Amino acid sequence: MKGKITIVGLGPGNKSMMTQEVVNVIDNATDIIGYSTYIKRIKPSKNLNLYSSDNRDEPQRAKDAINLALEGKNVVVISSGDPGVFAMASVVFETIDNGPDLWHEIDIVVLPGVTAMLAAAARVGAPLGHDFCAINLSNNLKPWHLIEKRIRLSIECDFVIALYNPRSKSRPNEFRKTLDILRETCDDNRYILFAKSVFSDEENINIIQLKNAKEDMADMQTLVIIGSSLSKVIIRNKQDFFYTPRVSI
Amino acid sequence: MKGKITIVGLGPGNKSMMTQEVVNVIDNATDIIGYSTYIKRIKPSKNLNLYSSDNRDEPQRAKDAINLALEGKNVVVISSGDPGVFAMASVVFETIDNGPDLWHEIDIVVLPGVTAMLAAAARVGAPLGHDFCAINLSNNLKPWHLIEKRIRLSIECDFVIALYNPRSKSRPNEFRKTLDILRETCDDNRYILFAKSVFSDEENINIIQLKNAKEDMADMQTLVIIGSSLSKVIIRNKQDFFYTPRVSI
């Protein structure tokens, strides 16, 4: 089998946050496929074929990548952040797993990237400095009762909680219900980070206490980090720092 | 205040896995401080001061970095992986928080990196493709009963679980007890990834079912990922793929 799939993470908004390996792979690519918003981050060139696709149809995008590989192409699949965290890598492997046996032997390389929670955390300090979890708040592929169970048990764990895809126009309710759970289970001075489009020109950072948090502070460009009971804020003249101490007794 | 602290993540073993921004910062640094093993990854040069320190005394390393900044130096603190995940960033912020008010205004920039669980996941597929948590298994700074509670509740959440610092010569027991909890609560065909020194010449990858897992498969260079009940393995002629589907009903 001649073709190959390389699934890469572009990191957060800024090109300087890509790994050197990902930059090399993109610079030498002949065929790149991805969601149109991410394809726009790739510089077009004469010998480069760009395949832009709709965000909603990730399984079709995975099939397109597989077909290009079966044709002998060395195809690069791009995601923002890290491709293994709520992104294209698991879609590709799921599609291959459910496909014919021949597909199982396709060469696939995954190149990691800086996922959104690491980028958001870095912009304010070290809120992920102690045990944490990452929950995708979209209920497109799982029922709300499972999301609710995970949030409640994560609070019981006293995890720091990173919420991916917290809220969209078509899904306005999950984040509102999450805030309701927090108000029921946490002190109202619990800190929450709303980090929008980090490392890009549209970056917007807010560290808010639960009592002041509002549902419309989150959208699809926002990564939310809910501090643990021990997370602290250092008040400063400049942007405050937000961190979670390593010690918990 | 003239000095500045830049806390950077070197990513996993291979230099090509650093972000371009981190490479730039290191290439232009005058003063770099870090654990001796990571300092060895930095190329010495005439105008570069390297401060190598013991792994056990992270608070002292943070104080040394702060003192260099107070002297007006632009000091770079290095961690492997991402500096915000069980690494130097939270130590620096904690030290600053507990220090005099003057310290709170020190300029600090954190540059994220590819943390170990993302690197390990990428080498085998996409085991972190669904909701997950990251737990530091070291009981140096927290009691075992808290670790145990988090592991048990994370299994109840059906999270994929990434274990950092699973086992060392001086802490042989936590990982053994973790395996005992898994044997009590999970099917014995649950998949576990042992990923040692990924993206380095010493890389060693094992995907094992719980029934075959042994405590000595983990050490301080190993990142362990315990699959959720839905995580799957694609058997191949080459290295098997390990992934977690996005869907959970």
Question: Tell me, what's the ipTM?
Answer: 0.97
pLDDT recorded at residue A247:
80
pLDDT recorded at residue A249:
62
User: Is residue B144 classed as helix, strand or coil in its secondary structure?
Assistant: helix
- Would you place residue A61 in the very low, low, confident or very high pLDDT band (cuts 50, 70, 90)? very high
> Is A82 an interface residue toward B (CB < 8 Å)?
yes
**d(C-alpha B17, C-alpha B10), whole Å:** 8
In sequence order, which residues have a C-beta less than 8 Å from that of residue B139 and are 6 or more positions away? B147, B171, B174
Q: Which of B85, B89, B248 sits opposite A146 (nearest CB)?
A: B248
**d(C-alpha A119, C-alpha B105), whole Å:** 22
For residue A76, is pLDDT > 70?
A: yes
Interface test mutation site (partner B, options A5, A7, A16, max chain B beta carbons within 10 A) = A16
> A176-190, B44-58, B196-210: lowest mean pLDDT where?
B44-58
**d(C-alpha B18, C-alpha A20), whole Å:** 6
- Calculate how close chain B gets to A21, using CA atoms only, in Å: 5
Residues of chain B with Cβ-Cβ distance to A12 below 8 Å are 112
Residues of chain A with Cβ-Cβ distance to B104 below 8 Å are 234-236, 241
| Residue B162 Rama label (left phi>0; alpha psi -120 to 50; beta) | beta
Q: Chain A residue with minimal CA distance to B105?
A: A236
For residue A54, is pLDDT > 90?
A: no
Q: Chain A residue with minimal CA distance to B148?
A: A157
- Calculate how close chain A gets to B130, using CA atoms only, in Å: 6
Q: Are A154 and B157 in contact (CB < 8 Å)? A: yes
- Cβ-count burial of A122 within 10 angstroms (0-12 exposed, 13-18 middle, 19+ buried)? buried
> A139-143, A175-179, B59-63: lowest mean pLDDT where?
A139-143
**d(C-alpha A68, C-alpha A3), whole Å:** 7
Mean pLDDT of B239-244: 97
- SS3 letters across chain A: CCCEEEEEECECCCHHHCEHHHHHHHHCCCEEEEEHHHHCCCCCCCCCEEEEECCCCHHHHHHHHHHHHHCCCEEEEEECECCCCCCHHHHHHHHHHCCCHHHHCCEEEEECCCCHHHHHHHHHEECCCCCEEEEECCCCCCCHHHHHHHHHHHHHHCCEEEEECCCECCECHHHHHHHHHHHHHCCCCCEEEEEECCCCCCCEEEEEEHHHCCHHHCCCCEEEEECCCCCEEECCCCCCEEECCCCCC
Q: Are B248 and A132 in contact (CB < 8 Å)? A: no
> Is B146 an interface residue toward A (CB < 8 Å)?
yes
Q: Chain A residue with minimal CA distance to B95?
A: A245
Mean pLDDT of A207-232: 97
Q: Are A21 and B24 in contact (CB < 8 Å)? A: no
- Would you place residue B56 in the very low, low, confident or very high pLDDT band (cuts 50, 70, 90)? confident
Mean pLDDT of B53-75: 92
- The structural domains of chain A, ordered by start, are 4-114 (3.40.1010.10), 117-243 (3.30.950.10)
Q: Chain B residue with minimal CA distance to A248?
A: B142
pLDDT recorded at residue B116:
98
> Is A83 an interface residue toward B (CB < 8 Å)?
yes
- Calculate how close chain A gets to B19, using CA atoms only, in Å: 4
Mean pLDDT of A108-137: 98
Mean pLDDT of B29-48: 94
pLDDT recorded at residue B249:
62
pLDDT recorded at residue A243:
98
Q: Are B122 and A83 in contact (CB < 8 Å)? A: yes
Count the helix, strand and coil residues of chain B and give each as a percent rounded to the nearest 5. 35, 25, 40
Interface test mutation site (partner B, options A103, A234, A247, max chain B beta carbons within 10 A) = A234
B107-162: pLDDT as tens digits = 999 999 999 999 999 999 999 999 999 999 998 889 999 999 999 999 999 999 99
For residue B4, is pLDDT > 90?
A: yes
Mean pLDDT of A168-194: 96
Q: What's this model's pTM, rounded to 2 decimal places?
A: 0.97
> Is A106 an interface residue toward B (CB < 8 Å)?
no
Give the mean pLDDT of chain B.
95
- SS3 letters across B196-232: ECCCCCCCEEEEEEHHHCCHHHCCCCEEEEECCCCCE
> Is A198 an interface residue toward B (CB < 8 Å)?
no
Q: Is the dihedral of CA A16, A18, A20, A24 positive or negative?
A: negative
Q: Which of B94, B105, B119 sits opposite A245 (nearest CB)?
A: B94
Mean pLDDT of A176-188: 98
Write down the residue that tokens 């093993």 correspond to.
B37
> Is B4 an interface residue toward A (CB < 8 Å)?
no
